[in-house]
Amino acid sequence: MITRLFLHLLVLFALAPLLPGVIGKTKALFGGRKGAPFLQHYFNLWKLFGKGLVISRTTTWIFRTGPVVGLAVPVIASLFVPFGSLTAPLGFNGDMIFVIYLFALSRFCTATAALDTGSAFEGMGAAREVTFACLAEPALFFSLIVIARLTGSLSLTEMLGPGLLAGWHGAAASLILVLVCLFVVVLVENCRIPFDDPNTHLELTMIHEVMVLDHSGPDLALIFYGAAMKLLVLGAVVVRVAIPVNLGNQALDLGVFILGMIGLAVLIGVIESIMARLQLLRIPQFLIGTILLSFFSLIMLLR
Amino acid sequence: MSASDSVKLFNGGVAALDSMPVLPYDLFADRVLREFSTAARVAAYFGVLPEEPGEGVELFAIMARERHGNFVIYRTRVGETFQSLTPNCPQLHLFEREIAEQFGVVPSGHPWLKPVRFQRSLRPGHDAWGRDPALHPVVGDMAYFQVEGEGIHEVAVGPVHAGIIEPGHFRFQCYGEKVLHLEISLGYQHRGLENLLIGGPHPGTVMQMETIAGDTTIGHMTAYSKVIEGLGGGEAPPRAQAVRAVALELERLGNHVGDIGAISGDIGFLPTASFCGRLRGDYLNMTAAVCGSRFGRGLVRPGGVYFDIDAARADRLRAALDRARKNTIGALELFLDTPSVLARLEGTGKVSRADAEDLGLVGVAARACGIARDGRFFFPNGIYRDIFDDMIIDENGCVYARTRIRQREVDVSLALVSRILDNMPAGPVRNAPQPLRPEALCLSLVEGWRGEVVHAAITDPNGRFRRYKIVDPSFHNWSGLAMALRNTQISDFPLCNKSFNLSYCGFDL
């Protein structure tokens, strides 16, 4: 149990910052550039942790809770999510709802921290983030309900366990739709193109980035680290649904999981390279379409 | 209309000051409005301090008439106040505000009388707003338009921005994500250029001209050179005109390609953003291959150019151009063939044709609204008289149209440069400078990459500048950007802004 916990956290802390590096490298290749090294995100975190903090006088303790919760939530959530065939260290019946609302808690704290600065930009960003999250949530729920129905469990460990492979034999059509919906949710939740542009410097178009404009130094590092972990945790669900194999050898399984995660990062990088951002007005329409898709996959399963 | 009311000039033409009658203001207003009703538009409208000290200010209105290919100039003189023409003719609004600010005369009835650049009045003791000269003007210090009501909020952007761009202040009145009104307040880069030029040309004047707007170095410098040549009674040799045209088109290429790259970056479409960033550098390097400066500093001078494009240099340019052409066309086609890009650009930041006409937009922004307005076509000079026949017009006036205009103009400019390089006239590249004609007005218009650059000089009895007026295309077009934002999403602002890509320092002077 303790080794499992330790291994889980090791994968989380060590692997998470690699994913933004892979995405960045993929985008650079598409742009005809060499790009920053794969380990750039680790260097950035190291740099930021060594820096001082600048805190606006208009803010209160609420402002400081945002980054802390932003890091704590993915760490706790990861303990309930299996990494490939490595089972999760913790789990109880219904923990899938717990995990979803853990992320909602983190969003709440980030949004209130943004509102705490009193800046017009950050208020706008918070409003957008919360709106889009509201629309992404039903899609996530419907998708997980499909899996729960297939595997007969409400705990993520079992939902993403061996039962899933059997589900692919019986209800592949539903699961393909679920996979698409989950992937869209990963893109929205992690502020990737076509929903948000993590590289933009334009305050007026930002969604997530504008909410953390006032954070600096170690606080910003916590946010970056938390964001990378969130990508890993949510990505782990997608990768597991896509590759529900158990090789029986722990090292091999871990290797499959890591390769799957890197593949996911490359896919995100490719999408970011070949697509432009959606107009802000179109994002809700797109997300409602995703909700319908996930609903449809449930209907196909229940028919 | 009697001929003696006004003076008509071709691009680069000169007229003696005493050939221009000083009309009473009422007659002047009547004539100017009548010109507007016959499809003329304002190219420049400015005040001049009278030669003999006395009351009031002289006003010169220079109107461009595409239909006739010439300019008509009216002259009047006003006291402390005059009846504003803006209510009947919105495109004068900024010009009248500028006159009010520079000379402390009040255009009464002006619906939007606010400072333009927050500069001091040229007539000490006269301030259009009656402010305390010890405390004012302070940049950005004015009453901003405000919308009130439930759910209305105000977003202020700048003058310090997140990117490396020039300073400007933008106030959005928003209802949720929707922009009800955008007010743009500039002046942070005001250097007092026009005041520095009084009594000129000085030895440093050429450097100042090249830095009016650094990205339009060739455009402004060519306009200035033509004013000096016109007042000196000559023209630059044909070979120099050809070199200028090559430099002007290279400037257009570099900026258009850079702009499309920036638009691409704004919507997160990376391949074109990266490629255009590099290609812009290639075009700047071609300019550098001609004169040693990537922005063309030190190339154009009154009387001609400092650097010739000899056969060897022309070959190198042609080779560089061939390399860049293929990549440019590919990068731009990829951009405008991608469905998600089209979905993002089409219909965003629309300016109606009527608004564009009313506001007197120029350049790319005007052509994107379906208005035929290109100085190279209607007011050609130099080598453009013989080679330019390819004016690009689009419709809809949205970001897509402005991008598409740029893409097609890149094609045209690439062909133009090749054609000029293949047909370089022989001869010298520089004439000796001549003394300037005293008591005269000279006017020149150059179609820079952003739009028309208008320079007008009025000389005193000693042949020095009594007044030198510079109108950058940005001066016309900033109001167009404000109109484009009405009823759009606030998140579309950066994209609209990039699609206009106006100059702050060219406006602020």
**CA A78 to mean position of chain CA atoms:** 11
Residue of A nearest to B171 (CA): A120
Q: Where in chain B is the domain with CATH 3.30.460.80?
A: 3-108
Q: Which residue shows structure tokens 């150019």? A: B305
Query: In this predicted model, what pLDDT tens digit does every residue of B103-140 receive, in sequence order?
Result: 889 999 989 888 899 888 888 878 888 888 888 788 88
**CA B72 to mean position of chain CA atoms:** 19
Quote the minimal CA–CA distance from A273 to chain B in Å. Answer: 6
- Please return the burial class of B320, using the count of CB atoms within 10 Å of its CB with bins 0-12, 13-18 and 19+: middle
Report the run of H or E that residue B15 belongs to, with start and end: strand B14-16
Longest dimension (CA), chain B: 71
Best CA proximity match to B364, nearest among B258, B208, B477, B206: B477
Q: pLDDT confidence of B227, banded at 50, 70, 90? A: very high
Rounded distance between C-alpha atoms, residue B457 and residue B464, angstroms: 9
Please report the pLDDT score of residue B125 as a whole number: 79
Q: Work out the percent of chain B whose per-residue pLDDT is above 90.
A: 44
Partners of B152 in beta bridges: B175
**CA B196 to mean position of chain CA atoms:** 20
- Please return the burial class of A245, using the count of CB atoms within 10 Å of its CB with bins 0-12, 13-18 and 19+: middle
Best CA proximity match to A199, nearest among A273, A253, A116: A273
Best CA proximity match to B216, nearest among B282, B290, B297: B297
The answer, yes or no, to whether residue A54 has pLDDT greater than 50, is yes
Please report the pLDDT score of residue B361 as a whole number: 92
Query: In this predicted model, what pLDDT tens digit does every residue of B394-437 receive, in sequence order?
Result: 988 999 999 999 999 999 999 999 999 998 888 888 888 888 89
Q: Cα dist. B393→A67, B262, B443 in Å?
A: 51, 22, 26
Asked if A5 is an interface residue toward chain B (Cβ–Cβ < 8 A), one would say no
Spatial CB neighbours of B302, under 8 Å, sequence gap ≥ 6: B206, B224, B225, B228, B229, B232, B433
ipTM over 0.90: no
Please report the pLDDT score of residue B384 as a whole number: 87
Query: In this predicted model, what pLDDT tens digit does every residue of A78-104 receive, in sequence order?
Result: 999 998 888 889 989 999 999 999 999
Report the run of H or E that residue A244 belongs to, with start and end: none
| Residues B476, B360 contacting (CB under 8 angstroms) | yes
Please report the pLDDT score of residue A191 as a whole number: 85
Best CA proximity match to A109, nearest among A55, A73, A140, A56: A73
The answer, yes or no, to whether residue A145 has pLDDT greater than 90, is yes
Quote the minimal CA–CA distance from B344 to chain A in Å. Answer: 6
The answer, yes or no, to whether residue B460 has pLDDT greater than 60, is yes
Query: In this predicted model, what pLDDT tens digit does every residue of A273-297 receive, in sequence order?
Result: 888 888 888 899 999 999 999 999 9
Q: Where in chain B is the domain with CATH 1.10.645.10?
A: 237-433
Q: Which residue shows structure tokens 């999510």? A: A81
Q: Do B268 and A276 touch (CB under 8 A)?
A: yes
Quote the minimal CA–CA distance from A240 to chain B in Å. Answer: 29
User: Which residues numbered 173-202 in A keep a CB inside 8 Å of some CB on B?
Assistant: 193-194, 197, 199-202
Tally of structural domains, chain A: 1
Across the interface, of B155, B270, B278, the residue whose CB is closest to A120 is B155
Please report the pLDDT score of residue B453 as a whole number: 93
Asked if B491 is an interface residue toward chain A (Cβ–Cβ < 8 A), one would say yes
Residues of A in contact with B348 (CB under 8 A): 279
Q: pLDDT confidence of B3, banded at 50, 70, 90? A: low
Better-scored residue on pLDDT, A170 or B84: B84
Rounded distance between C-alpha atoms, residue B469 and residue B47, angstroms: 9
Residues of A in contact with B155 (CB under 8 A): 120-121, 124, 204
Residues of B in contact with A193 (CB under 8 A): 268
Work out the average pLDDT over A152-170.
88
Please report the pLDDT score of residue A181 as a whole number: 94
Q: pLDDT confidence of B161, banded at 50, 70, 90? A: confident
Asked if B160 is an interface residue toward chain A (Cβ–Cβ < 8 A), one would say no
The pLDDT mean for chain A works out to 90
A172: containing domain: 2-302
Q: Which residue shows structure tokens 């329409």? A: A285
Partners of B76 in beta bridges: B23, B59
Rounded distance between C-alpha atoms, residue B410 and residue B325, angstroms: 9
Q: pLDDT confidence of B1, banded at 50, 70, 90? A: very low
DSSP state of A83: B
Q: Work out the percent of chain B whose per-residue pLDDT is above 70.
A: 99
Residue of B nearest to A127 (CA): B176
Left (φ > 0), alpha (ψ -120 to 50) or beta: where does B487 sit? left
- Residues B199, B202, B206, B210, CA torsion sign: negative
Rounded distance between C-alpha atoms, residue B206 and residue B433, angstroms: 13
| Residues A90, A98 contacting (CB under 8 angstroms) | no
Please report the pLDDT score of residue A279 as a whole number: 85
Asked if B271 is an interface residue toward chain A (Cβ–Cβ < 8 A), one would say yes
DSSP state of A280: T
Best CA proximity match to B369, nearest among B346, B397, B349: B397
Please report the pLDDT score of residue B382 as a whole number: 81
* Contacts made by residues A30-35, CB under 8 angstroms, sequence distance 24+: A30/A269, A30/A270, A30/A273, A30/A274, A30/B270, A30/B271, A31/A273, A31/B270, A31/B271, A31/B273, A31/B274, A31/B275, A32/B271, A32/B274, A32/B275, A32/B278, A33/B274
**CA A106 to mean position of chain CA atoms:** 12
The answer, yes or no, to whether residue B481 has pLDDT greater than 60, is yes
Please report the pLDDT score of residue B432 as a whole number: 86
Tell me yes or no: is domain B237-433 CATH 1.10.645.10: yes
Q: Do B162 and A202 touch (CB under 8 A)?
A: yes
**Looking at A201-205, B15-19, B337-341, B343-347, which range is the least confident one?**
A201-205
The helix/strand/coil state of A290 is: helix
Work out the average pLDDT over B349-372.
91
Query: In this predicted model, what pLDDT tens digit does every residue of A210-264 receive, in sequence order?
Result: 888 889 999 999 999 999 999 999 999 999 999 888 888 888 989 999 999 999 9
Work out the average pLDDT over B223-248.
91
Quick one: fold of B3-108? Beta Polymerase; domain 2 (3.30.460)
The pLDDT mean for chain B works out to 89
* Contacts made by residues B322-327, CB under 8 angstroms, sequence distance 24+: B323/B282, B324/B279, B324/B282, B324/B283, B324/B286, B325/B414, B327/B275, B327/B279
**Structural tokens at position B136:** 């004012």
